[in-house]
Amino acid sequence: MPLDLPLGATCFVDANILVYHFVELGEASAVCRSFLGRVVRSEIDAVSTASCLADAVHRVMAVEAQERFKLDKGAAAWLQRHPEGIRELSAFRDAARQLDLLHLRLLPVDSQTVIEAAELSVQHGLLTNDAIIVALMRRHGMEHLITNDDDFDGVPGLIVWKPR
């Protein structure tokens, strides 16, 4: 589904949508920027977690490192071995600052959320971080998930919106 959520909808925004906003990845980036513009204009109530924001910033760092240092893969491992390279990067810092302007409401993750997520992982074959998203959405009565991740497609009770 394209990201044409109804006015006033509440949705959970996954990390990959934020990455597409900050990193040029063709049409998906344009769709995500347009969607997040609606969030900034308060047409849509968007929530996420600090972990999703951190994951997005980390991925922006990795993409920038791959491009800047001509890496085929393993940017995070390369940066761990060459921490001086981080000082040469700026896109991830810009992304971190811009996240605050997006007006995303952050949901807290507590130990009960992790326990619920573990059960959801078993039920739906989800990795832990994806299961945490589902647990939070259920706890907060949300059905709209904005992601580019196909792993959520079979989870009952979710309306999965993708930028493609």
Provide the angle, in degrees to the nearest 10, between the axes of the packed helices 50-68 and 91-99: 160
- Long-range Cβ contact pairs of 3-7 (< 8 A, separation 24 or more): 3/31, 3/32, 3/34, 3/35, 3/146, 3/161, 3/162, 3/163, 5/35, 5/38, 5/44, 5/144, 5/146, 5/161, 7/43, 7/44
29, with CB counted inside 10 A (0-12, 13-18, 19+), is: middle
Q: What is the pTM of this model?
A: 0.95
- pLDDT digits 0-9 by tens, 41-55: 999 999 999 999 999
- pLDDT number for residue 149: 96
- pLDDT number for residue 1: 58
- pLDDT digits 0-9 by tens, 128-162: 999 999 999 999 999 999 999 999 999 999 999 99
Grouping H, G, I as helix, E, B as strand and the rest as coil, residue 6 is: coil
Q: Which amino acid is at 161?
A: W
In this prediction, what percent of the chain has a pLDDT beyond 90?
96
Asked if 160 and 12 count as a contact pair (C-beta separation under 8 A), the reply is: no
Domains of the chain: 10-161 (3.40.50.1010)
